Amino acid sequence: GQQVMQIPQYQHVQEGEDFTTYCNSSTTLSNIQWYKQRPGGHPVFLIQLVKSGEVKKQKRLTFQFGEAKKNSSLHITATQTTDVGTYFCAGEMGNFNKFYFGSGTKLNVKP
C-alpha cells in the first residue's frame, strides 16, 4: 500500500495567501525530498531534508522535517501566481536507492 500520504489533494488560494502541504509516512524516513511539477512539465527538485526536526527556507518557502522523521511540511508565504503547480514529497526509507512519492498537492493561485 501507499507508504507516503500527502494532503490536501488540491488547494485554491488567492494571491497573497499562505499555503501548506503535509506529508506523513507510516515508517521512519532516512530523508525526504520535495519536488515541484508545473502543468505539463516534469518534477523539479526543490530540497532535501535529512536531520530530525530540520527546517530549511528558500525565499518564501519553508520546509520542515518532523522530530520522528515520519512527517514533513512545505509552507509558502504570500503565494504568487508563479507558485502554481503540483508539489510532491518523496521519502527514502533506509538506503535502498528508491523513493516513495506522495500523491501531490495541486496548488492554484488566483490573481
Partner 1 sequence: SQTIHQWPATLVQPVGSPLSLECTVEGTSNPNLYWYRQAAGRGLQLLFYSVGIGQISSEVPQNLSASRPQDRQFILSSKKLLLSDSGFYLCAWRLAGGGRTQYFGPGTRLLVL
**Residues binding partner 1 (CB under 8 A):** 6, 31, 33, 35, 42-45, 48, 88, 90, 95, 97-104, 106
The alpha carbons of the chain give a radius of gyration, in whole angstroms, of 13
Complex with partner 1: residue 66 or 102, whichever CB lies closer: 102
Q: Provide, rounded to whole angstroms, the least separation between the CB of residue 87 and partner 1.
A: 11
Q: Provide, rounded to whole angstroms, the least separation between the CB of residue 16 and partner 1.
A: 26
Whole-number Å distance between alpha carbons of 84 and 86: 7
Complex with partner 1: residue 66 or 91, whichever CB lies closer: 91
Q: Provide, rounded to whole angstroms, the least separation between the CB of residue 3 and partner 1.
A: 11
Complex with partner 1: residue 9 or 80, whichever CB lies closer: 9
Which residues, 6+ apart, have CB-to-CB distance to 41 below 8 Å? Answer: 85
Q: Provide, rounded to whole angstroms, the least separation between the CB of residue 91 and partner 1.
A: 11
Complex with partner 1: residue 52 or 80, whichever CB lies closer: 52
**Dihedral sign for Cα atoms in the order 51, 55, 60, 61:** positive
Whole-number Å distance between alpha carbons of 32 and 47: 8
Q: How far is CA 17 from CA 14, 29, 59, 73, 89, in A?
A: 6, 30, 15, 17, 21
